[in-house]
């Protein structure tokens, strides 16, 4: 007996009768509530400049298009993020009537852009959660509502930084809304033979979206393998399977090339950057030569187990359920869904590829968001396999679903606490700078604009974030000189690294500065400041966060 076909209800999002559709999907509000709650909390407790890197870079890169300049921030390469930002800015163009007025407004009020951008992130996350919820409830046979809520929110419940992707304009915020959403699409299309046009569209989209960040290339590779397995299992023809995989891959390459075109002037710099990342160890290719070291694998798994234990637990549980389902199905002589078996095989290949890639920079936990975006689909298909195999696990699955929902709420609460802390710190930093410049100008009897401020990396102030971003873009020197007169931003990392900046970034010894703002990011900047006799401002000034501000002795 063949397994039942994929439920049509999971494919049709908007039926003709809207009232019936609303009634049948009323429970979809459950997984939406945590996302709406967190975003609303952020809106009333914003912290725009703690996430300036790379949000400000993408913002200025998108804005530079209206100044007639090409995209230059291509580290990841991130062109879909820049293009989407330009689209959002372009939608507001009629309000200004000229590029000059639009640029002038957004340079002065970049927070307006970030609110718009984060609204887009929220909407896309809600769409992904809704479609996932609808897919689960229309497919699984047991506890559909509970399973739908838990699995659609799983991304936010297994990674401690999942909720930040709702309010952080970064390539790392697109793992769920591009990666998981695309996998859902593949899951739906795989239930029937995929026609060449659909294969081409799936591959093209995977290639284009992979230019958001290079880790998403694993989606293209895993998709090509899945397409091969789907056709091989259905037709038993290696030739036809290879043909489908080539169509998919060719379309993916076209998608990649198309999304690289907007940054064509920066491609030589980008290619050199990627080469350094591939053939060197260390952060951003700053270490010893070498493509890969086998000891990275156990070190990365141990690191993720320590700092993202729920993610690693979900990975192990998915594999265990899949292996158990195959064993039970064989024992009970129950046929399994050929499409889902092929999908699971492809997901495992994709997961292994991701783990190898991610292990090269495993100490950046935010990169593992890409793995967190894959696991909900893997677990969903594994659970579906247990039902098809006749493996009754009702209460263990209920405990799993409940645990996922609890962990989602816990992570949401933790992120809210962090968000409130960042909001408070940004307000204090802005006030402290205002106090310092007023007192110092009065003491030295000079104009406030003549005092030179230098911001170390991570200073949560508007000018610090915009100046840092413009170090890469160099498209708005004049505008920022007016907004932030006599101010500079440094990249003083706590570790040895090399960046992909197309323009040289001035170092502290090249700037005639009066005040350095160092928020304690662990770099060796204080050693230099001590060597030139700089001191933190005295407590008698009554300035909050006085230890951030270093004064250069008067000449």
* Residue 251 within any structural domain of the chain: no
Share of the chain above pLDDT 70, in %: 95
- Closest by Cα among 259, 229, 257 to 244: 229
Q: Is the pLDDT of residue 164 over 50?
A: yes
Quote the CA–CA distance of 12 and 535 in Å, as a whole number.
65
* Residue 378 within any structural domain of the chain: no
**pLDDT tens-digit series, residues 204-229:** 999 999 999 999 999 999 999 999 99
Domain tally, the chain: 1
Q: Is the pLDDT of residue 400 over 90?
A: yes
Per-residue pLDDT at 213:
94
Residue 343 burial class via C-beta count within 10 angstroms: exposed 0-12, middle 13-18, buried 19 and up: buried
Q: Is the pLDDT of residue 5 over 70?
A: no
* Residue 534 within any structural domain of the chain: yes
- The pLDDT-based confidence of 6 (bands split at 50, 70, 90) is low
Nearest 10 degrees: Cα torsion 88, 94, 97, 101 = -40
**pLDDT tens-digit series, residues 105-123:** 999 999 999 999 999 999 9
Omega cis (within 30) before 424: no
- Closest by Cα among 87, 77, 69, 120 to 259: 77
Per-residue pLDDT at 2:
42
Segment 452-459 mean pLDDT: 94
- With vertex at residue 48, the alpha carbon angle to CA 42 and CA 53, rounded to the nearest 5 degrees, is 125
The enclosing H or E element of 310 equals helix 309-332
- Specify the pTM: 0.93
Q: Is the pLDDT of residue 104 over 50?
A: yes
Q: Is the pLDDT of residue 535 over 50?
A: yes
- The pLDDT-based confidence of 278 (bands split at 50, 70, 90) is confident
* Residue 475 within any structural domain of the chain: yes
- The pLDDT-based confidence of 1 (bands split at 50, 70, 90) is very low
Q: Is the pLDDT of residue 7 over 60?
A: no
Most confident of the ranges 10-14, 271-275, 450-454, 499-503: 450-454
**pLDDT tens-digit series, residues 475-499:** 999 999 999 999 999 988 755 566 7
Range name among 16-30, 108-122, 151-165, 312-326 with the lowest pLDDT average: 16-30
Per-residue pLDDT at 237:
92
Per-residue pLDDT at 506:
83
Q: Is the pLDDT of residue 21 over 70?
A: no
Quote the CA–CA distance of 178 and 195 in Å, as a whole number.
22
Per-residue pLDDT at 362:
83
- Closest by Cα among 180, 40, 62 to 118: 40
* Residue 263 within any structural domain of the chain: no
Per-residue pLDDT at 260:
96
- The pLDDT-based confidence of 555 (bands split at 50, 70, 90) is low
- The pLDDT-based confidence of 136 (bands split at 50, 70, 90) is very high
Quote the CA–CA distance of 524 and 515 in Å, as a whole number.
17
User: What is the DSSP-derived secondary structure letter of residue 190?
Assistant: T
* Residue 498 within any structural domain of the chain: yes
Higher pLDDT, 235 or 148: 148
Structure tokens at 285: 């290719």
Quote the CA–CA distance of 113 and 115 in Å, as a whole number.
5
What range defines the domain where residue 460 resides?
418-551
Segment 169-188 mean pLDDT: 96
**pLDDT tens-digit series, residues 220-272:** 999 999 999 999 988 889 999 999 999 999 999 999 999 999 999 999 989 98
Quote the CA–CA distance of 88 and 116 in Å, as a whole number.
7
Average pLDDT, the chain: 92
- With vertex at residue 370, the alpha carbon angle to CA 364 and CA 375, rounded to the nearest 5 degrees, is 125
- The pLDDT-based confidence of 291 (bands split at 50, 70, 90) is confident
Indicate the SS3 state at residue 191. Answer: coil
* Residue 482 within any structural domain of the chain: yes
- The pLDDT-based confidence of 20 (bands split at 50, 70, 90) is low
Q: Is the pLDDT of residue 299 over 80?
A: yes
Give the end-to-end CA distance of the chain in Å, rounded to a whole number: 89
* Residue 150 within any structural domain of the chain: no
The structure tokens 């699995």 sit at 151
Q: Is the pLDDT of residue 12 over 70?
A: no
Per-residue pLDDT at 288:
79
Per-residue pLDDT at 504:
82
CA distances from 547 to 188, 516, 537 (A): 56, 11, 7
Number of other CB atoms surrounding residue 431 within 10 Å: 13
Per-residue pLDDT at 404:
98
Structure tokens at 207: 């290639």
Q: Is the pLDDT of residue 15 over 80?
A: no
Q: Is the pLDDT of residue 322 over 90?
A: yes
Strands 549-551 and 535-536: antiparallel
**333: Cβ–Cβ under 8 A, 6 or more apart, which residues?**
none
Strands 453-455 and 487-489: parallel
Structure tokens at 75: 């580290």
- Closest by Cα among 2, 521, 533 to 233: 2
What is the DSSP track for 86-139? Answer: HHHHHHTGGGTSSHHHHHHHHHH-HHHHHHHHHHHHHHHHHHHHHHHHHHHHHH
Segment 404-424 mean pLDDT: 97
Cβ distance 114 to 59 under 8 Å? yes
């Amino acid at each position: 007996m063949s397994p039942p076909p994929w439920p049509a209800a999971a494919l049709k999002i908007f039926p003709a009768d809207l009232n019936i559709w609303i009634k049948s999907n009323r429970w979809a509000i459950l997984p939406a509530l945590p996302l709406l709650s967190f975003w609303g909390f952020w809106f009333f407790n914003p912290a725009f400049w703690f996430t300036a890197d790379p949000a400000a870079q993408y913002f200025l890169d998108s804005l530079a298009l209206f100044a007639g300049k090409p995209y230059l921030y291509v580290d990841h390469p991130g062109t879909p993020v820049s293009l989407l930002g330009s689209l959002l800015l372009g939608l507001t163009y009629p309000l200004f009537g000229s590029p000059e007025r639009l640029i002038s407004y957004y340079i002065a009020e970049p927070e307006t852009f970030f609110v718009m951008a984060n609204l887009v992130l929220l909407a896309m996350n809600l769409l992904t959660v809704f479609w996932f919820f609808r897919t689960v409830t229309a497919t699984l046979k047991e506890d559909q509502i509970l399973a739908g809520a838990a699995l659609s929110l799983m991304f936010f419940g297994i990674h401690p930084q999942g909720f930040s992707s709702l309010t952080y304009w970064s390539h790392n915020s697109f793992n769920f809304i591009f990666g998981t959403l695309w996998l859902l699409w593949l899951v739906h299309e795989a239930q029937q033979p995929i026609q060449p046009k659909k294969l081409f569209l799936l591959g093209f989209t995977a290639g284009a979206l992979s230019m958001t960040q290079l880790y998403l290339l694993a989606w293209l590779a895993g998709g090509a393998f899945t397409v091969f397995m789907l056709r091989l299992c259905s037709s038993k023809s290696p030739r036809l399977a290879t043909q489908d995989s080539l169509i998919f891959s060719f379309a993916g390459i076209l998608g990649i090339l198309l999304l690289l075109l907007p940054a064509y002037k920066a491609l030589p710099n980008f290619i050199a950057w990627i080469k350094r990342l591939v053939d060197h160890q260390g952060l951003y290719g700053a270490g010893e030569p070498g493509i890969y070291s086998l000891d990275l694998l156990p070190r990365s798994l141990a690191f993720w187990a320590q700092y993202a234990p729920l993610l690693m637990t979900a990975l192990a549980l998915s594999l265990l359920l899949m292996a158990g389902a195959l064993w039970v199905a064989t024992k009970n002589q129950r046929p399994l869904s050929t499409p889902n078996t092929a999908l699971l095989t492809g997901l495992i290949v994709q997961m292994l590829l991701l783990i190898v890639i991610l292990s090269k920079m495993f100490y950046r936990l935010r990169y593992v968001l890409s793995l967190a975006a894959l696991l909900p689909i893997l677990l969903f298909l594994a659970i579906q396999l247990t039902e098809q195999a006749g493996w009754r696990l009702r209460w263990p699955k209920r405990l799993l679903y409940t645990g996922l929902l609890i962990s989602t709420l816990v992570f949401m609460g933790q992120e809210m606490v962090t968000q409130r802390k960042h909001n408070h710190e940004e307000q204090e930093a802005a006030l402290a700078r205002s106090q310092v410049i007023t007192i110092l100008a009065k003491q030295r009897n000079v104009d406030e604009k003549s005092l030179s401020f230098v911001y170390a990396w991570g200073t949560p102030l508007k000018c610090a974030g915009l100046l840092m971003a413009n170090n890469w873009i160099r498209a708005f020197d004049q505008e920022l000189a007016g907004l932030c007169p006599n101010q500079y931003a440094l990249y003083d990392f706590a570790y040895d690294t090399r960046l992909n900046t197309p323009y040289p970034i001035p170092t502290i010894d090249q700037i005639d500065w009066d005040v350095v703002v160092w928020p304690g990011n662990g770099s060796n900047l204080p050693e230099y400041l001590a060597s030139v006799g700089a001191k933190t401002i005295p407590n008698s000034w009554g300035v909050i966060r006085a230890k951030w501000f270093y004064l250069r002795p008067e000449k």
